[in-house]
């Protein structure tokens, strides 16, 4: 699976209308509204968009005829096999109507050209895990988690000890499990979420 290494943009004029595409990496769908607001150009005629993160996806025609903007942008993302991507295509109307087919080609084509020129990186599959560690065994786990490149998502303490939710590369799960067994003398529990 591939995603963007950095923000990409592309601009072209089609029958006197200016189309500007901006593509960003989007790892969490809950961040989409903030990004859409940040990328929206208020003076433009339309700010159409689409995003895909795993199985979740959304698109908007932003006032263009139904299915002529958002879906073609989403199709450009999917055709290039990308994930964790948001694309906004902004249109400044130039006075010439493009018709439904012309809009589909303009929005989808501008998004595709933007994505085609973008620098990409491979996204490795990840797993979300919860660790339950007794108080007496928490000391050595922090270094182990860091060594395995895990991201801490949530940390809480209860009467049994530490509960830690992490995200880790799928290829590191077994090594983490073995390391936890060693450093906690088998007292840690590791659960896949």
DSSP for 141-172? HHHHHHHTT-EEEEEEEETTEEEEEEEEEGGG
φ, ψ (nearest 5 deg) of residue 185: 55, 40
Q: What is the pLDDT of residue 123?
A: 83
Q: What is the pLDDT of residue 48?
A: 98
Q: What is the pLDDT of residue 125?
A: 85
* 51: its two tokens: 């995003």
35 close to 156: Cβ distance less than 8 angstroms: no
In the predicted model, residues of the chain with pLDDT beneath 70 are none
Q: What is the pLDDT of residue 3?
A: 96
As annotated, the residues of the chain forming the CATH 3.30.70.240 domain(s) are 126-192
Q: State the CATH architecture for 2-122.
A: 2-Layer Sandwich (3.30)
Q: What is the pLDDT of residue 160?
A: 87
Q: State the CATH architecture for 126-192.
A: 2-Layer Sandwich (3.30)
Distance CA 181, CA 31 (A): 36
As annotated, the residues of the chain forming the CATH 3.30.230.30 domain(s) are 2-122
Q: What is the pLDDT of residue 72?
A: 98
């Amino acid at each position: 699976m591939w995603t963007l290494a950095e923000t990409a943009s592309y601009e072209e004029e089609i029958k006197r209308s200016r189309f500007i595409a901006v593509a960003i990496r989007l790892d969490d769908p809950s961040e989409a509204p903030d990004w859409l607001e940040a990328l929206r150009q208020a003076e433009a005629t339309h700010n159409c968009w689409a995003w895909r993160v795993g199985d979740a996806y959304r698109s908007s025609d932003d006032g263009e005829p139904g299915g002529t903007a958002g879906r073609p942008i989403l199709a450009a993302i999917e055709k290039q096999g990308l994930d964790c991507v948001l694309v906004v295509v902004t249109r400044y109307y130039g006075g010439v109507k493009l018709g439904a087919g012309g809009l589909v080609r303009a929005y989808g084509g501008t998004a595709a050209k933007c994505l085609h020129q973008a620098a990409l990186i491979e996204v490795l599959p990840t797993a979300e895990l919860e660790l339950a560690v007794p108080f007496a065994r928490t000391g050595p786990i922090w270094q182990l988690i860091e060594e395995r490149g895990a991201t801490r998502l949530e940390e809480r303490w209860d009467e049994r000890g530490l509960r830690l939710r992490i995200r880790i590369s799928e290829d590191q799960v077994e090594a983490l499990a073995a390391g936890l067994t060693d450093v906690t003398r088998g007292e840690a529990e590791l659960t896949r979420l």
